[in-house]
Structure 1
Amino acid sequence: MKGLVVALQFLTRLPTPRIAVSSDEFAASMRWFPAAGAIVGLIVAGGGWLGGRTDPWIGALIALLLWTGVTGALHLDGLADIADASGAAHKDRERLLAVLADPHVGSFGAVAVALQLLAKLVLLHAAIDQGQVAAIACIPFAARIGPLVWSRWLPPLHEGLGARFRGAVRPIDLALWAAALLVAAWFFPTFLVVLLFFALWGWWILRRIGGISGDGHGAGIEIGETLLLLALTASGSTA
């Protein structure tokens, strides 16, 4: 359970016991990312359910506030950086990497974050209105399987978090979380769309940027969550 605590400390703002870990132990905490996502999902779904008893829009707003607050907007920062870097891609690779490393948020990044928050709000409203709160709880879990896949598959972009995580994810970790995803998909079949997304996002990152980094992981998690919400609500509207 030490790995789960470390994963929660890294991925969330939730209060956790302070523990000292080595560099290897910190890297190994990535194996627990989906479990940390499940905890985030329970909090988000709980807020959405509570607010949705008054009105779906109130539920969606509470859920979104909790989603952003619990994670500390960590993944939104990655989305902004990837969007800014992609906007500079028409220059050259050196320019792209320079923009990716710049801590400031540019116009592409600001627009990407605004659209992401708007999309989540609208889709959360639709999911709550359709009574799919239980599925909302599983979405952060499913999206956080992606970093395990990308760490095993893609080369690290530079010496950083991506490089530290690469050797920490074992085949058994992927197998166990894939099995858990299949269990979730038994109840919510549209979740299987995330497997295609993992492949497409990894291919795009490799082709456009050349390797995975913390920003690539964060942006992938954010886009994966929105895609899962979209697939969920689309299936509910046609049911």
Structure 2
Amino acid sequence: MNFTSFWLALQFLTRFPVPRTVTPGPAALGWSVVMYPLVALLIGMALALLQGALQYQHAAPGLAAGLLLTAWVVISGGLHIDGLADCVDAYVGGYGDAERSLAIMKDPRSGPMAVAAVVLLMLVKFGALMAIYEKHINLPLLLIPVIGRSFVALILLTTPYVRIRGLASPLVENLPRRPAITALAVSAFCAWLALGPWPLLAAVLAVWGLRSVAIRRIGGCTGDVLGAMIEISEASALAACALIEV
């Protein structure tokens, strides 16, 4: 493992600039998944700093939530939102047929149910961000991106990857098991200490539910499933933070 793995994770998960062109090897690709929580922490730091600046300027809660959500989407480049839309289209249009569902996931067009799912998820995030902003708490923004991306390693280690020569195939083949589990455990423990059990439990239930649906419908996971998992687990944990005192 070297800095190449970190730059790969940063390049894939965000639109932050990297200092040089990264030429990945198989081992670096696998280790890049271990770096996901660290890159997610950078995303969280950017969001927490933005919220702090908005609080300093006494921005209205609705405006602050809108700017935070926009920044969140821009930083990730909408990568995971695309996965969510593809999964919803496949679930609705696949009629339970795995091959048909996988073919729909590769279609760049989005149907009305996919659009509705993305809008609803953004509304949940917007409302939760507004509530968190009004409570003047910053830890959820710092750690929830970490929670969502930490589960990627868990899904890759426990779920068949069904897309032959898919985008995540090299990650699955070269993912170091023990470091990945360690990174997940440390991330979950820190989130538990900082946020309490409920946001983490909400994210775990969301991930377990989506994994169960994916196994039932397509026999495992794909890159789109991973993206959808990140978005849904983030929204679930964020809503839990908004509903309780952190």
Which TM-score bucket, shorter chain as reference? over 0.9
Moved more, 17-26 or 208-217: 17-26
Identity of matched residues, %: 29
Match of 2:30 among 22, 27, 32: 27
Decide which of 227, 231, 234 is 1:222's aligned counterpart: 231
Deviations 1:135-183 (A, max 9, x none): 2111001110111000000111112133222231412321233123212
Task: Give the CA deviation at 1:217.
Answer: 0.5
Residue 199 of structure 1: CA displacement? Answer: 2.7
- 3-state SS of the aligned residue for 2:35? helix
Distance 1:132 1:98 in 2: 43
Deviation, structure 1 residue 83: 0.7
Contact 2:5 2:35 in 1 (8 A): yes
Measured after TM superposition, the shift of residue 7 of structure 1 is 0.3
Deviation at 1:91, TM superposition (A): 5.9
Counterpart for residue 164 of structure 1 = 170
Q: Could you tell me the TM-score, scaled by structure 2's length? A: 0.90
Residue 187 and residue 60 in structure 1: after superposition, are their counterparts in 2 closer, same or farther (change >3 A)? same
2:189 is matched with 182
Distance 1:91 1:229 in 2: 31
Match of 1:103 among 105, 108, 122: 108
Is residue 2:227 matched to residue 1:199? no
Q: What's the Cα RMSD here?
A: 1.7
178-187 vs 66-75, greater mean Cα deviation: 178-187
Q: Read off the aligned partner of 1:173 and give its amino acid letter.
A: A
Q: Distance in 2 between matches of 1:164 and 1:45?
A: 33
Q: Which residue of 1 aligns with 2:62?
A: 57
Is there any run of 5+ residues in structure 2 with no aligned partner, and where?
A: none
Given candidates 41, 46, 50, the residue that maps to 2:49 is: 46
Q: Aligned AA for 2:193?
A: W
Query: Which residue, 99, 107, 118 being the options, matches 1:94?
Result: 99
Matched residue count: 237
Decide whether aligned partners of structure 1 residues 198 and 57 sit closer, same or farther in structure 2, where only a CA change above 3 A counts.
same
Contact 1:48 1:63 in 2 (8 A): yes
CA distance in 1, matches of 2:18, 2:96: 44
Gaps of 5+ in 1: none
CA distance 1:98–1:59, change in 2 (3 Å): same
